Amino acid sequence: MEWTIQPASRIDAVSYEIRGTLAKRARELEQLGHEILALNIGNPGAFGFRTPETMREAVVRNLQRAEPYGHQMGIFPAREAVAMHFQDRGLTETRYHDVVIGNGVSELVDLSLRALIEPGDEVLIPSPDYPLWSASVVLNGGQPVYYPCPPEHAFEPDLDALVKAITPKTRALVVINPNNPTGAVYSKQTLQALADMAKAHRLVLLADEIYEGIGYDNIDMVPLSTLVDDAVCLTFGGLSKVYRACGYRIGWAVLSGAIDHATDYWAAIEKLAALRLSANMPGQWAVQTALGGHQSIQELVATGGRLFQARQAVIESVDASRHLSLVTPQGALYAFPCIQAIDQAHRQGAPLPFDDQAFAETLLEKKHILVVPGSSFNFPNPAHFRVTLLPQPDVLKSAFVAIDEVLSDWLD
C-alpha cells in the first residue's frame, strides 16, 4: 500500500521565494556549467566583502572559550557591548540583561513572536515586507495584516491606512527600517507616529533595524527605540549586514521602552532561548570588537565607496532604461525597480498579461540573472522586482542592460 508523510498544513501558507524555486533552478543551471549572477540575496561574502580582520581575530583568539555551551541569553561581553551601543544612542538605562543574543535575527524574530501571540492574534506587517516576518507570524499561529508602504509615499507607511488596520486582535507592529526590499529610510516624523500609535493601542513594536548604519547621502537614520516611551519596543540587529558576517549567525534583540510591562514577556523569551541551549558561541566573541571598533561600513556607503557606487550604477541604469523607474533607495542593500508599463496597467485596473514570477524565470533562463519578483514580498503590484547592490558597479550596469533586453521582448 502506497503512502506518504504529509507536511503540516500551515507550511502551505509560508513563502520564501528569495531562496525558493528560482534559486533552486539557478543551482541547476550552475551545475550545467552556467555562471549565474545572483541578485536575489544580500549575502556580502558572496561578492567579495570580507568580515573585518579584527572580528575574525576575536573569534580565533576565543575559540577555546567557545567550545562549551554559553548562557541562553548570550555571553556577557556581547550583551554588554550591545547595551552600550544602545546607551550611545541615548537609551542610557539599557543594561546587558535587556539584551538577548540569537542565531541571527531570523531566530529571534521567531522567538519573539512565539512568546507573544496566541492563535488568531494579528500582527501588522509592512507591504512590501521581508517575508520572514509573514512566515514567522503564520508558523506561530498568528495572522499577518499588511499595511501599505506605497511608492508614491517613497515606500514609507501610509499612516491613515495603518491605523484603520488595527483591531482588538492586533498585538504587534513590525517596522523594517532601513527597509528591505525597498531601501526606504523612514523620517523621524513617520517613526514618531508609529511609536505614538503603539502607545495608544498598547502594541509591541518590533523594530527590524538589521541595516542600521547602511545609509546613503548622509541620510538621517533615527532608531525607533529612541522615540518610544510608554510602549514596549524590541529592536533587532546583528553582524550579518553592517559587519559582513552573515555566516557567523549572530543577531540581537534589545528590550526598551515601558519594560516594566514586559516582565513576563521577556521571561518567556528567555525560556524559549533556553530550549535551544545557546546561540553560536564563536560568533558571539566578535560582537564586542565589532561594536567597539572602527565602523568600516561608513567608507563603503560614503561618496565613492563601493556600495555607494553600486547604488549609483543602478540609479543610472534605470534612468537609461526605456522600461524602468525607481524610488531611489536611501539605505540597506537593495533596490526595488518598477516596470512602468505594468505599473500603469495595474493602477488603471487593466488586464495584465504579465506574471512577475514568469518574468524572473525568463530572465534566469535567458540571461542567467537571478532576481526576486516583487510579489514575493507580499506586495500587490506585480510591476516590481528586487536586486541587491552588492555586485561591482560595472556588473550591475551590464545586468540592467540584459534586464532591459528581456523586458523589450515581453513588452514591445
| In-domain check, residue 4 | no
Q: How far apart are CA 364 and CA 367, in angstroms?
A: 6
| In-domain check, residue 213 | yes
Q: Which of 292, 314, 349 is the last residue of a domain?
A: 292
| In-domain check, residue 3 | no
Together in a domain, 225 and 115: yes
Per the structure block, which three cell numbers stand in for 7? 507536511
Q: How far apart are CA 249 and CA 286, in angstroms?
A: 11
Together in a domain, 267 and 360: no
Together in a domain, 189 and 326: no
| In-domain check, residue 25 | yes
CATH code at position 202: 3.40.640.10
Together in a domain, 60 and 191: yes
Q: How far apart are CA 155 and CA 173, in angstroms?
A: 17
Together in a domain, 316 and 204: no
> What global pTM score does this model have?
0.95
pLDDT, tens digit, 9 for 90 and up, residues 212-262 = 999 999 999 999 999 998 999 999 999 999 999 999 999 999 999 999 999
Together in a domain, 266 and 372: no
Model confidence at 273, pLDDT cuts 50, 70, 90, reads very high
Q: Which of 277, 292, 307 is the last residue of a domain?
A: 292
pLDDT, tens digit, 9 for 90 and up, residues 333-348 = 999 999 998 888 888 8
Identify the domain containing residue 219 by its residue range: 53-292
**Residue 110 and residue 137 in contact, taking contact as beta carbons nearer than 8 Å:** no
CATH code at position 37: 3.90.1150.10
Together in a domain, 311 and 400: yes
Say what the pLDDT of residue 146 is.
98
Q: How many domains is the chain built from?
A: 2
For residue 101, give the H/E element and its range.
Answer: strand 99-102
**Residue 186 and residue 156 in contact, taking contact as beta carbons nearer than 8 Å:** yes
Together in a domain, 81 and 42: no
**Residue 155 and residue 179 in contact, taking contact as beta carbons nearer than 8 Å:** yes
pLDDT, tens digit, 9 for 90 and up, residues 301-358 = 999 999 999 999 999 999 999 999 999 999 999 999 999 988 888 888 776 667 899 9
Together in a domain, 257 and 121: yes
Together in a domain, 305 and 261: no
